[in-house]
Structure 1
Amino acid sequence: MAVATGGDIGFEVLPEDCIANALSLTSPEDACRLSLVASAFYSAAQFDAVWERFLPADYRDIISRSGDAADLLASASKKDLYFRLCDNPILIDDGTKSFSLEKKSGKKCYMLAARSLKIVWSDTPRYWQWISLPESRFGEAAELLDVCWLEICGNINSSMLSPNTNYAAYLVFTLQPRAYGFEYQPVEASIEINGHEAQKKTVYLDHQRPQKEGYTVIPRRIGIFNQRVIHRMRQRENAGYSKERSDKWMEVELGEFFVKNGQDAEIAMCLMQIKSHWKSGVIVQGIEVRPKGEDK
């Protein structure tokens, strides 16, 4: 939003509540920028009415599902509450989910804890174990001990999310130093809407794979093209790779979907690798759903 600079530019003649109302029609990012332009904007940007508009309409209902509801709702101001929800995800629904806001826009973000996911064989101690990690936002994380059938799925209803928003789902995990079975093995990720597959893609959990591929020697057959090699090269070009987050966990995008206004659809987010080779060493924190393009 382009605004002339150079001190108070006549806005001081307007009532503060009028300026506050105008700010509330912009975005959290624009309101913060405009508050640096003129003192009239700065003063109006502190109004609860501005930040009440930026908070989700159902924020009280969501916060009431948290053990810290009383403390959060007693925040000094709506602006303070807004940024607390941006910077410190809150646990809701008995710790099975976390909720936060995307700072620039105020859009809703959720993470589904590993305990709320469908993880095949997760209740069999031979294949998975449940552990507690101080760096995880949830009480438990799922550690893969040894499986050949890897399948992790989570569900969320679109009505929980912000309307008219393009979302992406991410598996949030880490790899143990002793992890194996993921170095060069692709994993299939998919998004389904109301039981209909909307997107499918190949991803790699090993975040060092791109560097390793730089040293991979591709066999060459004299006189003919190796069709398998060509197919694998095309797969790599279209594949998704994991990356490190600001909280030091890893994430890989499972897919994206658009939430329409008034939409009530069940979104299924899955990761699957069911080939015969054995895999170990992945620790799953959960699946995060947030606006597409916003890094963590």
Structure 2
Amino acid sequence: MHRRKYIVDKQLVTMHRRNQPKEGLLLLQLPLIIRRYVEVKNASDNEKTETQSPVQTYGDGKSKWCMVYAKALDITWSGDTRYWRWAKETSGDNFEAAELLNVCWLEVRGKLATTDLSPGTLYEVVFVVKMKTEADGWDAPVNFKFTSPDGALTRNTTFKLREILKDSKDQWKDIPFGEFKAPENPRNIEFSLYEYSRIWKSGLVIKGVAVRPKS
């Protein structure tokens, strides 16, 4: 009689354990879940801070200027690893530079709202690039285009990058190609770099476009 009651009681306990709410199991695992969440969040935060925003505004109390990094530019084929490679630069600013591996259709476009600039200040627009030692295919001139905030002025300039970058291989070089006076009412400026010949080109590295007060 007592043995039968013991067997029945044991079966009831087993059934009770099997039918326990899942909340109990979750409570037991809660410390592990929280610890894992913190680890993932910290890793995500670190990843975000490794590379800064692709558009940065700076100032010295007198005037402000902007840097439009390569990630904020519209670069044709930049998403295809056969043609472009994104390389993290950590010397000074933390940003991703666009390294040209091989293209014949070179096209880089961008724009910037003058919202964060100082009205009335004369600015210059500068492509910041460098040429790798093993660069090739730069015999044809490259076109640089700038459109002013009101759209009334469009400036087209051509440069032979092989010539102007020959003494600064693997070093950042400024190429000014436009200027404007920042308007009171914010508008957009537009800029581009392009070369459409059938010559395959490689070795150009783009940091971005600097919009800074002209000294």
TM interval, shorter chain, is 0.5 to 0.7
CA distance in 2, matches of 1:280, 1:135: 23
Aligned residues: 164
2:200 equivalent among 272, 278, 293: 278
Q: Are positions 1:96 and 2:54 aligned together?
A: yes
2:121 equivalent among 165, 170, 194: 165
Unaligned runs of 5+ in 1: 1-66, 68-90, 211-240
Q: Are positions 1:142 and 2:95 aligned together?
A: no
Structure-to-structure mapping, 1:177-256, within 5 angstroms: 177-182=133-138, 184-192=139-147, 193=149, 198-206=154-162, 209=163, 248-256=171-179
Name the aligned partner's letter for residue 140 of structure 2: Q
How far apart are residue 197 of structure 1 and its match? 5.3
TM-superposition CA deviations, 1:228-273 (whole Å, max 9, x none): xxxxxxxxxxxxx8986xxx5112113112212x222111111111
1:113 equivalent among 69, 75, 93: 69
SS at match of 1:257: strand
TM-superposition CA deviations, 1:40-75 (whole Å, max 9, x none): xxxxxxxxxxxxxxxxxxxxxxxxxxx9xxxxxxxx
Name the aligned partner's letter for residue 189 of structure 1: F
SS at match of 2:192: strand
Instruction: Verify the 8 A CA contact 2:52 2:95 in the aligned structure 1.
Output: no
How far apart are residue 128 of structure 1 and its match? 0.4
If asked which structure has higher relative contact order (CA below 8 Å, sep 6+), I would say: 2
CA distance in 2, matches of 1:94, 1:106: 24
Instruction: Verify the 8 A CA contact 1:167 1:290 in the aligned structure 2.
Output: yes
How far apart are residue 196 of structure 1 and its match? 5.7
Name the aligned partner's letter for residue 167 of structure 1: Y
Instruction: Verify the 8 A CA contact 1:99 1:108 in the aligned structure 2.
Output: yes
Q: Which structure is higher in strand share?
A: 2
In the alignment, what sits opposite 1:259? 182
How far apart are residue 168 of structure 1 and its match? 1.2
Instruction: Verify the 8 A CA contact 2:57 2:116 in the aligned structure 1.
Output: no
How far apart are residue 195 of structure 1 and its match? 5.6
SS at match of 2:143: strand
Name the aligned partner's letter for residue 86 of structure 2: W
Q: Are positions 1:124 and 2:47 aligned together?
A: no
Distance 1:138 1:153, change over 3 A: farther
Instruction: Verify the 8 A CA contact 1:136 1:285 in the aligned structure 2.
Output: no
CA distance in 2, matches of 1:143, 1:201: 23
Moved more, 262-271 or 112-121: 262-271
Instruction: Verify the 8 A CA contact 1:146 1:280 in the aligned structure 2.
Output: yes
**TM-score normalised by L of structure 1:** 0.50
CA distance in 1, matches of 2:160, 2:211: 19
Distance 1:159 1:133, change over 3 A: closer
Name the aligned partner's letter for residue 97 of structure 1: V
CA distance in 1, matches of 2:167, 2:179: 17
Structure-to-structure mapping, 1:65-80, within 5 angstroms: none
How far apart are residue 173 of structure 1 and its match? 1.4
In the alignment, what sits opposite 1:236? none
CA distance in 2, matches of 1:121, 1:109: 29
TM-superposition CA deviations, 1:142-177 (whole Å, max 9, x none): 110000111111211122211111111111111110
Instruction: Verify the 8 A CA contact 1:242 1:252 in the aligned structure 2.
Output: no
